[in-house]
Amino acid sequence: KQEVTQIPAALSVPEGENLVLNCSFTDSAIYNLQWFRQDPGKGLTSLLLIQSSQREQTSGRLNASLDKSSGRSTLYIAASQPGDSATYLCAVSSVTGNQFYFGTGTSLTVIP
């Protein structure tokens, strides 16, 4: 069974700092990997989707990379802002099944 781990569980940074969130998974036979943002009491908002054949995806200040062989993905946030404060979740889907497996998330606080 696929297991997804996110480190750190919580992160607090001053505004303007660049930061990296980590996601690791145990089964490298993935179909795709998706990063989400979740605000308190809200649903999940999709940030970036990386197909298994891709190495990275970019959207604005966000850049996500994927290294299937090592079972890792990183989400890079440039020039962080207080509005980036949220929980960030990664999810992977395996080629052997149809479901997505989620990590427990990283809670990010950006201090003004």
Partner 1 sequence: EAGVAQSPRYKIIEKRQSVAFWCNPISGHATLYWYQQILGQGPKLLIQFQNNGVVDDSQLPKDRFSAERLKGVDSTLKIQPAKLEDSAVYLCASSPGLAPREQFFGPGTRLTVL
Nearer residue to partner 1 within complex by CB, 35 or 65:
35
Contact positions with partner 1 (CB under 8 A) in 8-37 = 31-32, 34, 36
C-alpha closest to that of 22 among 99, 103, 109, 80: 103
Q: Is residue 62 a contact residue for partner 1 (CB under 8 A)?
A: no
Nearer residue to partner 1 within complex by CB, 31 or 76:
31
Q: Is residue 45 a contact residue for partner 1 (CB under 8 A)?
A: yes
Q: Is residue 49 a contact residue for partner 1 (CB under 8 A)?
A: yes
C-alpha closest to that of 47 among 73, 25, 67: 73
Q: Is residue 102 a contact residue for partner 1 (CB under 8 A)?
A: yes
Residue 84 sits at φ, ψ, to 5 deg, of: -80, -10
Pairing status of strand 10-14 against strand 106-111: parallel
Q: Which member of 21, 64, 66, 89 binds partner 1 (CB under 8 A)?
A: 89
| Residues at the site binding partner 1, with contacts judged by CB under 8 A | 4, 31-32, 34, 36, 41-46, 49, 89, 91, 93-94, 97-100, 102-105
